[in-house]
Chain A
Amino acid sequence: MKNKKKRNVICTAVLSVIVVALIYYANNYLDAYIVRILNLCAIYTIIGLSMNLINGFTGLFSLGQAGFMAIGAYTVAIFTLPIDMRSTIYYMEPMNGAIANIHLEFVPALLLGGIFAGIAAFLIGAPVLRLRGDYLAIATLGFSEIIRILLTNWQSVTNGALGINKIPDNANNMWWSFGISIIVLILISLLIRSSYGRAFKAIREDDIAAEAMGISLFKHKVMSFVIGGFFAGIGGGLYASLLGTVDPKQFYFTLTYNFLLIIVLGGMGSISGTVIASFIVTGGLELLRGFDEPLTIAGYEISLFRPGFSMVIFSVLLMVIVLFYRKGLMGRTELSWDRLFNFFAKIKSRFSPKTAREGGAK
């Protein structure tokens, strides 16, 4: 047992060094386009994890992540926008006096976005989390839309439908995006492995039994929802910073479907699954965009490939997973060093001399 633990720690340390080296390399030497995709993967991981916390681990069917993202995104957009730019961008209606002169650095703005999103999650969650299954889904979806509509109409604060651009793109630096993602990943893992994480899982398994075992459903459901909302807000802030612009149309509730696909593909209830899936989905979406261009082979244009094709494939993929691979890639299990080594040991034993001898003797 002790040896295994030592081995695992060494492996993790080695992996960390490799990851840091890769980030350094990618940040400085890779094409800007690829860096942007990688950053998007990292950001989507954060939001996927936040959604999985609520949906996969606590069993609450929430479709509200887009709304929380939007809050975080707009907070960062509004407060990191350089003050001298504000009047040009808010040309239809000047920025609200109370905030017009407040400028925050990236990290405080990010945290503030998370906090605002968390507060929204509390206000929404407290009344709504007692609803069952599909009702909760629709209610959270409704709130996500209400948030978006509010943002569209609150001209003096959010610049309404015009959106905000020229947001400082701190998140384009891989150290920020990946760094924060890794921190979030660690925090959520620690949370899930704590007593509170077990309480969340108990609620998912059987909330009536959980309550009978002394767990306050209200307190823990709201807790999970608020934490998820907080991290979604952080993800949203990074998203705004990466893209450099925000506008309400980006946060239509269909954005949440991306994350639904990620957590379903990865396995609702698996952290490593979500991480893997967000890279597959985000990267995949980019690759699939190639299918949106007309393809000509030997002078014949294949009209199959045109705008929208990638999204059709994406949707079909979601359906296939839901219908045939409900558990997703990892189900509720996690990647761990132990599993990895056991897997290799099995393969090794198939090729070992002993079994070969036994096979020959037959």
Chain B
Amino acid sequence: MKTKDMAIDQIIDKNIVLRTENMTMQFGGVVAVDNLHLTIREHQIVALIGPNGAGKTTAFNMITGVYTPSSGKIFLQGEDITGMKPDKITRMGVARTFQNIRLFKDLTVFENIIIAKHFSMKSNVLSATLRLPGAVREEKRMREESEALLERMGLADVRNDIASSLPYGQQRHLEIARALATGPNLLLLDEPAAGMNPQETEDLTASIKQIQQDFNLTVFLIEHHMDLVMEISDRIYVLDFGQTIGRGTPAEIQNNQRVVEAYLGVDDDAEN
């Protein structure tokens, strides 16, 4: 696939899910992300790579509303979401996982999942408390959907375990399941393979591919495991010190001199 330049991106925008324009984040004197232009199309798997501290999670945080960009804009399905609050963005169909797992530690696996469905409840707190028919029906629906998701993700037998008691790999898996429970169109994964051994990484790679197909998603992920990235990505963006130093297909990135020098030249096992 040829690398398209920005002007053409803007013209053919029918199936663009996410687009950022000059997205910049400045903390005091430090520019964490400098004029990032991203285009992510429907059903693509796009990766964001770069050395630690390059600004990748900051980019995620801007897209999901945790930070408001110092300048620039973010468009979700054509709508300007710059500066919107995270919960609103989630309700518009964006879900995420976190670099340092942020599960609801003391709650059960099942509760973690069903909480992600709370925002879809239309009944107010009074009807929910008094168990009025409408609320009871919605609760039932949320429970059934959660059970189904747990089955599908292979977490059904641990549904009553406390989230923090799960082994590390399963916790990461649960975090992805929880994100899926919000019913997103766009899934943001922040280093989903962090801390995993090669076997687990392989399983995860297959898992992400499967999830993308089954749930009809667009996926945007941050990762350091290059085998994972190169295998599943349709497109890759490379950040270094907040600057975009490369964009394109996996093949193009691997041949990009600047990227190789800054990042790929380093043995990726050293990152673990």
A and B associate: yes
User: Which residues of A pack against B, CB within 8 Å?
Assistant: 187, 190-191, 194-196, 198-199, 201-202, 205-206, 208-217, 223, 227, 332
B119 and A205 form a contact (CB under 8 A): no
User: Which residues of B pack against A, CB within 8 Å?
Assistant: 64, 66, 85-88, 90-91, 95-96, 98, 102-107, 111, 114-121, 125, 128-131, 135, 138-139, 142, 178-179, 181-182
The residues of B that contact A208 with a CB separation of less than 8 Å are 66, 86, 102
Report the separation of the CA atoms of residues A227 and B118 in the bound assembly, to the nearest whole angstrom: 19
Given A190-B129, A209-B98, A214-B87 contact (CB < 8 Å): yes
A213 and B125 form a contact (CB under 8 A): no
> Within the complex, what minimum Cβ distance (angstroms) separates B118 from chain A?
5
Pick the contact of B90: A191, A202, A212 (CB < 8 A). A212
Pick the contact of A213: B105, B129, B131, B182 (CB < 8 A). B182
B106 and A209 form a contact (CB under 8 A): no
The residues of B that contact A211 with a CB separation of less than 8 Å are 85-87, 90
Which chain A residue lies CB-closest to B120? A214
17 contacts between A and B (CB under 8 A): A194-B125, A196-B128, A199-B118, A202-B115, A202-B118, A205-B106, A206-B103, A209-B102, A209-B104, A211-B85, A212-B98, A213-B118, A213-B181, A213-B182, A214-B91, A217-B87, A332-B106
Q: What 7 A-B pairs have minimum CB-CB distances, sorted nearest first?
A: A214-B119, A209-B102, A205-B104, A214-B90, A194-B128, A211-B86, A213-B116
B139 and A195 form a contact (CB under 8 A): yes
B107 and A190 form a contact (CB under 8 A): no
Pick the contact of A198: B66, B115, B131 (CB < 8 A). B115
Given A190-B131, A212-B86, A198-B111 contact (CB < 8 Å): yes
- Extra 10 A-B pairs, beta carbons < 8 Å, given A195-B128, A199-B118, A214-B91: A187-B129, A190-B131, A194-B128, A194-B131, A196-B118, A198-B118, A202-B107, A206-B103, A212-B64, A223-B125
Given A198-B114, A210-B115, A213-B116, A191-B129 contact (CB < 8 Å): yes
Which chain B residue lies CB-closest to A186? B129
The residues of B that contact A209 with a CB separation of less than 8 Å are 98, 102-104
A196 and B115 form a contact (CB under 8 A): no
Number of residue pairs spanning A and B whose beta carbons lie under 8 angstroms apart: 102
Given A208-B66, A214-B87, A190-B130 contact (CB < 8 Å): yes
A195 and B142 form a contact (CB under 8 A): yes
A195 and B107 form a contact (CB under 8 A): no
A195 and B129 form a contact (CB under 8 A): no
Between A190, A194, A195, A206, the greatest number of chain B beta carbons within 10 A of the residue's beta carbon is seen for A195
Which chain A residue lies CB-closest to B139? A195
Report the separation of the CA atoms of residues A332 and B107 in the bound assembly, to the nearest whole angstrom: 10
Pick the contact of A214: B114, B118, B139 (CB < 8 A). B118
The residues of B that contact A332 with a CB separation of less than 8 Å are 106
> Within the complex, what minimum Cβ distance (angstroms) separates A186 from chain B?
10
The residues of B that contact A201 with a CB separation of less than 8 Å are 104, 107, 111, 115
Interface residues of A, dominant DSSP: helix
Report the separation of the CA atoms of residues A361 and B196 in the bound assembly, to the nearest whole angstrom: 49
B107 and A205 form a contact (CB under 8 A): yes
A202 and B87 form a contact (CB under 8 A): no
The residues of B that contact A227 with a CB separation of less than 8 Å are 125
B106 and A215 form a contact (CB under 8 A): no
B90 and A195 form a contact (CB under 8 A): no
The residues of A that contact B96 with a CB separation of less than 8 Å are 212
Report the separation of the CA atoms of residues A205 and B102 in the bound assembly, to the nearest whole angstrom: 9
The residues of A that contact B128 with a CB separation of less than 8 Å are 191, 194-196
The residues of B that contact A202 with a CB separation of less than 8 Å are 104, 107, 115, 118
B87 and A215 form a contact (CB under 8 A): yes
Between A196, A208, A213, the greatest number of chain B beta carbons within 10 A of the residue's beta carbon is seen for A213
Report the separation of the CA atoms of residues A216 and B103 in the bound assembly, to the nearest whole angstrom: 17
Report the separation of the CA atoms of residues A188 and B128 in the bound assembly, to the nearest whole angstrom: 12
Given A194-B128, A205-B107, A214-B116 contact (CB < 8 Å): yes
Report the separation of the CA atoms of residues A213 and B178 in the bound assembly, to the nearest whole angstrom: 8
Report the separation of the CA atoms of residues A332 and B105 in the bound assembly, to the nearest whole angstrom: 13
Report the separation of the CA atoms of residues A332 and B179 in the bound assembly, to the nearest whole angstrom: 26
Between A190, A205, A208, A209, the greatest number of chain B beta carbons within 10 A of the residue's beta carbon is seen for A209
Given A211-B87, A214-B87, A214-B118, A206-B129 contact (CB < 8 Å): no
Between B64, B125, B182, the greatest number of chain A beta carbons within 10 A of the residue's beta carbon is seen for B125
Report the separation of the CA atoms of residues A328 and B96 in the bound assembly, to the nearest whole angstrom: 35
The residues of A that contact B125 with a CB separation of less than 8 Å are 191, 194, 196, 223, 227
The residues of A that contact B182 with a CB separation of less than 8 Å are 213-214
The residues of B that contact A205 with a CB separation of less than 8 Å are 104-107
> Within the complex, what minimum Cβ distance (angstroms) separates B220 from chain A?
14
Report the separation of the CA atoms of residues A275 and B130 in the bound assembly, to the nearest whole angstrom: 21
> Within the complex, what minimum Cβ distance (angstroms) separates A266 from chain B?
17
Report the separation of the CA atoms of residues A340 and B105 in the bound assembly, to the nearest whole angstrom: 26
Between B96, B102, B135, B179, the greatest number of chain A beta carbons within 10 A of the residue's beta carbon is seen for B102
> Within the complex, what minimum Cβ distance (angstroms) separates A327 from chain B?
11
Given A191-B129, A223-B125, A215-B119 contact (CB < 8 Å): yes
> Within the complex, what minimum Cβ distance (angstroms) separates B253 from chain A?
29
The residues of A that contact B130 with a CB separation of less than 8 Å are 190
B87 and A216 form a contact (CB under 8 A): yes
Report the separation of the CA atoms of residues A78 and B264 in the bound assembly, to the nearest whole angstrom: 76
> Within the complex, what minimum Cβ distance (angstroms) separates B171 from chain A?
13
Given A205-B106, A214-B91, A214-B182, A194-B116 contact (CB < 8 Å): no
Report the separation of the CA atoms of residues A217 and B139 in the bound assembly, to the nearest whole angstrom: 21
Which chain B residue lies CB-closest to A199? B118
The residues of A that contact B116 with a CB separation of less than 8 Å are 213-214
